[in-house]
Amino acid sequence: MRIGTWNTGWAVPGSARGVRVRTSIAVAECDILCVTEGSAGLLPGEGHVIDAGTDWGYDLLREDRRKVVLWGRHPWTGADCVGSPGFPGGRFVKGVTESPIGPLTVVGVCVPWDGAHVRNGRKDRELWEDHHAWLEAFERLPWRRTTDRMVVLGDFNQRIPRMRAPKKAHEALLRAFEGLEIPTAGEIPGAPGLTIDHIAHTPDLRRATPFRIWPKRNADDEAMSDHFGVWADFSLAATT
């Protein structure tokens, strides 16, 4: 089962950069994809999409923009783009889809960046306030520690291990994802640094291949995104 996630930096479908991004995504031939700061128009045409909606407190600018989009080869059931009343809006979507290893719960996320609604948007937050609120709401979700065969992926807006994030914010991140394995933590061979676009999963899954990278710039030095994306194959963990 191939899974990937990438913050595509609001690439516009049909633009030169959007075409490059869409082509690069298609070449990976993922079974499950999460695109943050993007659009369904960047994803393969043959598949099924759910998204986190449009209400994240900023002007939409384009009707197709979404903070989080999930794509799968098979239909989604139980789609939920609310999660909890405590979530900052438009940054969470959850669904169940068939995969090569059977039914899989997939959660796409875009944890607010440190400056969300501080100097733009609603301008009613302190630094890291929405980031903490999102993580605390996620930690309290009743199914968070009881769902098997689950993947949580997207833009976590923190590197693991901690770099510039305040210690309190990093501790909140680790609490929120406690019990999940985060194989994107640490150095990824070929990556230009630590990623903030992560894939986490329940212990009943395992990464089966090394991570591959969607780059910030392609081989012709053309812009792709301000993030690099990651993808790899996953399988069921061996049982004893």
The domain spanning residue 203 has which CATH number?
3.60.10.10
Bridge partners, 71 (sequence order): 33, 49
How far is 180 from 177, CA to CA, in rounded Å?
A: 6
Q: Give the pLDDT of residue 60.
A: 85
Radius of gyration of the chain (CA): 17
Query: How many domains, the chain?
Result: 1
Q: Give the pLDDT of residue 84.
A: 87
How far is 23 from 26, CA to CA, in rounded Å?
A: 5
Per-residue pLDDT of the chain (240 residues; tens, 9 = 90+): 999 999 999 999 999 999 999 999 999 999 999 999 999 999 999 999 999 999 998 988 899 999 999 999 999 999 999 998 888 889 999 999 999 999 999 999 999 999 999 999 989 999 999 999 999 999 999 999 999 999 999 999 999 999 999 999 999 999 999 999 999 999 999 999 999 999 999 999 999 999 999 999 999 999 999 999 999 999 999 875
How far is 14 from 2, CA to CA, in rounded Å?
A: 25
How far is 67 from 155, CA to CA, in rounded Å?
A: 9
Q: Residues 6 or more apart from 165 whose CB is under 8 A from it?
A: 114, 158, 159, 173
Range of the domain at 168: 2-236
Q: Give the pLDDT of residue 75.
A: 98
Q: Give the pLDDT of residue 238.
A: 85
Query: Which residue is listed with tokens 């669904």?
Result: 95
How far is 128 from 59, CA to CA, in rounded Å?
A: 21
How far is 23 from 7, CA to CA, in rounded Å?
A: 15
